Amino acid sequence: EESELAELAAKTQDPDVYLKDPDVTMFDQLPLCSRTMQGLAGANWVEMTEIQRASLPLSLCGRDVLGAAKTGSGKTLSFVIPVLERLYRAKWSQMDGVGALIISPTRELALQIFEVLRKAGRHHTFSAGLLIGGKDLKHEQERVSRMNILVCTPGRLLQHMDQTPDFNCDSLQMLILDEADRCLDIGFEKTINAIVANLPKERQTLLFSATQTKSVRDLARLSLKDPEYVAVHDKS
């Protein structure tokens, strides 16, 4: 395992190695750990979609990414894989608390993300929780502090930040906004701002949506660092 970690670290210094090589089209050509590779293979995810191909070399190197691609193009794995890889390389364990937050605008989408995370992460040992409301808060409160990866809707996450003793995101490594344009919409503005105020600024942030947000104000709100814009357009 140590030699695998060293090899992975060495291979993820320069995203151009992968971005500029047109022959890189399969997940197993990327520097992914064997646990993630087994999860992907088990779900029959073999060849990368365009948005995965264009964004993973950057996100795996720790860059902030704004990804845009239409619905159905495989954006979920574009952020689930970097989450698994980053926490694995950091040897994240139960005691380390919340390492990654994945925020989704709706319960249904959050549930779908959680299912993809479960499949891709099947051979990892991280604990993952789904915080989407509609269930007893007390029941969640006992477990939420032990979770490494949380998939949540904005309102429910903020409710835990406000009301769950011992819950904090002080050592967070990654923040993901899926359907980012909807998460950054006016209706969620106060909630997202309050959430971000509870997060460390030193972290990796990934934003994915069907349309690209380039609003300087939104990016400032999220303290993105030198983000890479990755857009995949319809070829027709």
Neighbours of 21 (CB within 10 A): 11
Residue 169: partners with Cβ closer than 8 Å, 6 or more residues away: 97, 98, 101, 161, 198, 199, 200
Size of the site for Mg ion (CB under 5 A): 1
For position 152 contacting ligand ADP by CB under 6 A, the verdict is no
Query: Least CB distance from residue 15 to ligand ADP, whole Å?
Result: 19
How far is Cα 188 from Cα 182, in angstroms, rounded to an integer? Answer: 8
Our CB check for ligand ADP shows the closer of 76 and 159 to be 76
How far is Cα 234 from Cα 119, in angstroms, rounded to an integer? Answer: 28
Identity (one letter) of the amino acid at 119? K
Among 11, 19, 50, 74, binds ligand ADP (CB under 6 A): 74
Residue for token pair 């364990």: 93
For position 159 contacting ligand ADP by CB under 6 A, the verdict is no
Neighbours of 159 (CB within 10 A): 18
CB under 5 to 8 A by kind: which of Mg ion, ligand ADP, none does 153 bind?
Answer: none
Query: Least CB distance from residue 76 to Mg ion, whole Å?
Result: 5
Torsion-angle region of 133 (φ positive above 0: left; ψ -120 to 50: alpha; else: beta) = left
Our CB check for ligand ADP shows the closer of 50 and 185 to be 50
Residue nearest Mg ion, Cβ-based: 75
Our CB check for ligand ADP shows the closer of 109 and 161 to be 109
For position 233 contacting ligand ADP by CB under 6 A, the verdict is no
Q: Which residues pair with 231 in a beta bridge?
A: 68
Query: Least CB distance from residue 58 to ligand ADP, whole Å?
Result: 17
Residue 94: partners with Cβ closer than 8 Å, 6 or more residues away: 127, 146, 148
Query: Least CB distance from residue 163 to ligand ADP, whole Å?
Result: 30
- Site map 29..58 versus ligand ADP, x via CB under 6 A: ----------------x-xxx--x------
Residues forming the site for ligand ADP (CB under 6 A): 45, 47-49, 52, 69, 71-77
